[in-house]
Amino acid sequence: MFTRIAAAASAAALFAMTPQAKAQDFINVLTGGTSGVYYPLGVALSEIYASGIDGARTQVQATKASVENLNLLAQGRGEIAFALGDSVQMAWEGNEEAGFPRPLTELRAIAAIYPNYIQIVADAAAGATTLEDLRGKTLSVGAPASGTELNARAIFEAAGMSYDDLARVEYLPYAESAELIKNRQLEATLQSSGLGVAFIQDLSATHDITIVAIPEEVVTAIGEPFVPAIIPAGTYAGIDEDIPTAAVGNMLISHEGVSEETAYQMTKLMFENLERMRSAHGAAADITPETALDGLPIPLHPGAERYYREVGLMQ
């Protein structure tokens, strides 16, 4: 899979052979770790843009995801990025504790896409099925001040817990966390991702796991943009019942320095090529134009707004 993705990313960086529309020359797609959902979807976007925008050269950049992506956009070091909705809101407000030393008011929205599910995966030997069971356990919560780690803080606070209740906290991304669980060096990891994410699929295929439930009352205590959600039975090997959890929306974000034409083409081409997105990862099944404007905490890019008016989603 990784070979196919890497090859696709390299191919996407080449000049398009069948141009259809004109825009600026370079589009850097900011994603996340290669074992998550953002990366394969970013590769698909780069392929779509490389073949659909005249003269475009595209690049896929693996990052630490939401917080890093938004800061890179604000620095003009990317044209489009994946990010969690709560991170976008904190970036706009300039939440220094969350990793945004100033309000990033140059950010502009392209679309709300699919929900991220908070997935707390534990070694079955740890016996953790509830948040209370995590007390005294070792837990990875994502990179420091990442979108995932901000989600972890919110979950623990709403549950009346803190990192002090844990035996040890590790700040690691998906793949590294899974490896430590396999090697019995870590008991659990909290990650924010689309359902069916590769690192949990891989872990559950070789290792007995549990998924820790996040009850609806905890999610309600956090409030928007978090909503109660379900991880369906059978999503991962060995998970035979529905697990309640929290979900928060993902978004595609750009910035005001990207031209209206480029933002228009980036929006239009994604929605015209949803099958290619879905073939890259099943999480893209939830991407639709009808929900693209839901819950956006920052202004739309004028180019994206032009597309939504064109298709009748805005007056």
In a domain, 10, yes or no: yes
Cβ distance 192 to 118 under 8 Å?
yes
Burial class (CB in 10 A: 0-12, 13-18, 19+), 162: exposed
- Residue 217: give its domain's CATH number: 3.40.190.10
Query: Does 257 lie in the same domain as 188?
Result: no
CB crowding 72-87: b at 16 or more within 10 Å, else e = bbbeeebbbbbbbbbb
pLDDT at 237: 95
Domain extent for 40: 2-114+249-310
CA angle 71, 282, 84 (to 5 degrees): 25
Question: How many domains does the structure of the chain reveal?
Answer: 2
Same structural domain for residues 274 and 232? no
Give the predicted TM-score (pTM) of the model. 0.80
- Per-residue pLDDT 10s for the chain (315 aa) are 434 444 444 444 433 333 344 445 799 999 998 888 899 999 999 999 999 999 999 999 999 899 999 999 999 999 999 999 999 999 999 999 899 999 999 999 999 999 989 999 999 999 999 999 999 999 999 888 788 899 999 999 999 999 999 999 999 988 899 999 999 999 999 998 888 888 899 999 999 999 999 999 999 999 888 989 999 999 999 999 999 999 999 999 999 999 999 999 999 999 999 999 999 999 999 999 999 999 899 999 999 999 999 999 998
Report CA Rg, the chain: 19
Residues 223 and 74 in one domain: no
Distance of CA 249 to the CA centre of its chain: 8
Q: Which domain-ending residue is among 248, 273, 290?
A: 248
Which residue among 217, 248, 279 closes a domain?
248
Give backbone dihedrals phi and psi of 227, rounded to 5 degrees, phi first: -135, 150
**Long-range contacts of the stretch 231-235 (C-beta < 8 A, 24+):** 231/117, 231/119, 231/195, 232/195, 235/195, 235/196
How confident is the model at residue 24, as a pLDDT?
A: 55
